[in-house]
Chains A and B, each alone.
Chain A
Amino acid sequence: MMNPDDILNVTELNVAYGESEVLFDVSVKVRRNQVVACVGRNGAGKSTLLKSIAGFLKPTSGTIVSNGESLVGRPAFAIAGMGIKYIPQDKKVFSDLTVRENLELGSYASQDYDWVPVFDYFPKLKILIDRKAGYLSGGERQMLMIGRAILGRPKLLLVDEPTEGLAPSIVMNLRDVFKELAKQAALVIVEQNLPLVCAIADKVYAIKEGHIMAEFTERASIKPEMCEQYL
């Protein structure tokens, strides 16, 4: 039941690394301005899912469709060009370049040179603008990664474990940022931080060993204990 308005429609996706299968018949649906969370233990296949959507991995079978267009087989930069941006989990920015230059690359890629929204979300970036990105702290890097990605007004953000290793105050900051972002773009967030997820998600998928174990669509039913069960 595919609606062309669906920002993302993943159907029966199977992904393998070489000989070992990692994802089995995974199906995910994301609507406009929805915040969808994928939770699961390490190695469950959450990152693999995001990477496959973003075009960094080729699925062995299944479909990935966004607004009626198929994503499978397209190079990753083309998918990013369609407004689907992937923010990896490794908290890596281009260390030798300054914050400004990092943002410049994002602008060049998306042809969006309006940095006002970026500084609205992350005023700290304005202060750090001329610092070499290698000297940023983990939280600041995460901010830069997100700030870079929202250039070009993406319709979908794929965020991989954004709060991992970050201080609680920054986590709260990010929580508010995601809430705001959701007004303009759909989000798929992979997280192990269940309280955060439950605070902002409209829908939660619980993934275990490459399978979707459960899907929670009622905001009321999204509670950490419920998710725990399926992991």
Chain B
Amino acid sequence: MNMQLLISGIIFGLSLGGIFFLMSIGLSLCFGLMRIISLDQLLYYSLGAYLTYTVGLLIGDVWLGVIGGVVVAAIVSLLVERVVFRRIYERDLPFTMITSFGVLIGGVGAIKYFWGLIPRPVPVPIAAQVDIIGTDIPVYRLVIIGVAVLVYLGIWLFLNRTIIGKAIRAGTEDCEHVEGLGINVYRLFTITFIIAGGLSGLAGGLYAPLIMVDPQMGLEVLAFIFMVVIIGGLGSIKGTLISSLLVGQVVSLGSLIYAPLAQMAPFAVMLLILLVKPTGLFGSALQKR
């Protein structure tokens, strides 16, 4: 395999990993703190993409579209948290999972209603390419990687340097203790949910120019996100980062080697890891709070 292919494959994999990461943090955080599997994050992902399309179309600026996507995704996730999840936090996992799946499916239906079934293209905001070691790399992909890195740093700072972030970290260990101190944990839940929704919307908005925006897009990417989250271990941000990078590279470089298998390779990796560590690389044997 020649150098150019390899380099573009790696960059491609990194940008893919970046998108996976943005999406998976939401799932991971929501699980860590609230012990729910928020399948509806995939809906916010789709909403982010669709809003990017619509706003980008109306205003002519895709970046504003992305921002619009993030905002709308965050608002919708807030609404869902208030109306649906707030009532069911104490319930067990299958329950909350089915409910979030219901939200996802219903949301996809709503998207179909408003936007129709036809896939929508979104123009790439930066068409330029840059030369890296003799290979032409689309700048947009580098931007995605950059955003993912910034988000990781932002999340890290938030969780480690702000009091709310520390409260959230404490909550992932034991929510009752946090509440016993007098902290309103329900507000923490809402904050976390909004962050998760916004990040998922960001992932969708950023990814939109690279794929066709269609109602099923959330479901198509669902398996990969699950694999990322499982490999990394639910609840671990570091684990999510590492596994997103890993899965991104596996898919990207794998498709250079043998295309059809590339989609399945992460699955094989996941099974292998689960054989050795049933809770993922960094997942702990967390109990229901």
* A/B contact in complex, CB under 8 angstroms: yes
Q: Which residues of A contact B (CB under 8 A)?
A: 54, 56, 75-77, 80-81, 85-88, 92-97, 101-102, 104-106, 108-110, 148-149, 152
* CB-based closest 4 A-B pairs: A80-B182, A109-B182, A94-B170, A109-B181
Asked whether A97 lies within 8 Å of B169 as measured between CB atoms, the reply is: yes
Asked whether A108 lies within 8 Å of B163 as measured between CB atoms, the reply is: yes
Q: Does B167 contact A (CB under 8 A)?
A: yes
Asked whether A101 lies within 8 Å of B180 as measured between CB atoms, the reply is: no
- Set B177, B179, B184, B186: member contacting A94, Cβ < 8 A: B177
- Set A56, A96, A110: member contacting B182, Cβ < 8 A: A110
A219 to B234, CA, bound (A): 53
- List B residues 149-177 near A (Cβ within 8 Å): 163, 166-167, 169-170, 173-174, 176-177
CB distance from B164 to the nearest CB of A (A): 9
Q: Which residues of B contact A (CB under 8 A)?
A: 163, 166-167, 169-170, 173-174, 176-186
Q: Which residues of A contact B166 (CB under 8 A)?
A: 97, 101, 104-105
Asked whether B173 lies within 8 Å of A85 as measured between CB atoms, the reply is: no
- With known contacts A88-B177, A95-B173, A96-B173, A104–B182 Cβ distance under 8 A: no
- With known contacts A101-B166, A104-B163, A54–B182 Cβ distance under 8 A: no
- With known contacts A97-B169, A97-B170, A105-B166, A85–B177 Cβ distance under 8 A: no
Asked whether B185 lies within 8 Å of A105 as measured between CB atoms, the reply is: no
Q: Which residues of A contact B167 (CB under 8 A)?
A: 105, 108
- Set A54, A96, A104, A152: member contacting B180, Cβ < 8 A: A54
Asked whether B173 lies within 8 Å of A105 as measured between CB atoms, the reply is: no
- Enumerate 7 A-B pairs (CB-CB under 8 Å) in ascending A order: A88-B176, A92-B174, A96-B169, A105-B166, A105-B181, A109-B183, A110-B181
Asked whether B176 lies within 8 Å of A105 as measured between CB atoms, the reply is: no
Q: Which residues of B contact A95 (CB under 8 A)?
A: 173
Q: Which residues of A contact B178 (CB under 8 A)?
A: 105
A160 to B199, CA, bound (A): 41
Asked whether A94 lies within 8 Å of B173 as measured between CB atoms, the reply is: yes
- With known contacts A101-B166, A105-B166, A94–B182 Cβ distance under 8 A: no
Asked whether B179 lies within 8 Å of A80 as measured between CB atoms, the reply is: yes
Q: Which residues of A contact B184 (CB under 8 A)?
A: 75, 77
Q: What residue of chain B has the Cβ atom nearest to residue A101's Cβ? A: B166
CB distance from B14 to the nearest CB of A (A): 29
Q: Which residues of B contact A77 (CB under 8 A)?
A: 179-185
A148 to B180, CA, bound (A): 10
CB distance from B191 to the nearest CB of A (A): 14
A108 to B176, CA, bound (A): 16
- With known contacts A105-B166, A105-B167, A108-B167, A80–B173 Cβ distance under 8 A: no
- With known contacts A94-B170, A101-B166, A108–B180 Cβ distance under 8 A: no
A76 to B183, CA, bound (A): 9
Q: What residue of chain A has the Cβ atom nearest to residue B167's Cβ? A: A105
- Set A87, A102, A108: member contacting B183, Cβ < 8 A: A108
A102 to B166, CA, bound (A): 9
Of the listed residues A56, A75, A80, A105, the one surrounded by the most CB atoms of chain B closer than 10 A to its CB is: A105
A110 to B174, CA, bound (A): 19
Q: Which residues of A contact B173 (CB under 8 A)?
A: 92, 94-96
Asked whether A80 lies within 8 Å of B169 as measured between CB atoms, the reply is: no
A18 to B140, CA, bound (A): 56
Q: What residue of chain A has the Cβ atom nearest to residue B184's Cβ? A: A77
A138 to B119, CA, bound (A): 60
CB distance from A54 to the nearest CB of B (A): 7
Q: Which residues of B contact A92 (CB under 8 A)?
A: 173-174, 177
Q: Which residues of A contact B163 (CB under 8 A)?
A: 104-105, 108
Q: Which residues of B contact A86 (CB under 8 A)?
A: 180
- Set A75, A96, A148: member contacting B181, Cβ < 8 A: A148
Asked whether A94 lies within 8 Å of B180 as measured between CB atoms, the reply is: no
Asked whether A106 lies within 8 Å of B181 as measured between CB atoms, the reply is: yes
Of the listed residues A56, A97, A110, the one surrounded by the most CB atoms of chain B closer than 10 A to its CB is: A97
Asked whether A56 lies within 8 Å of B176 as measured between CB atoms, the reply is: yes
Q: Which residues of A contact B179 (CB under 8 A)?
A: 56, 75-77, 80
A96 to B186, CA, bound (A): 21
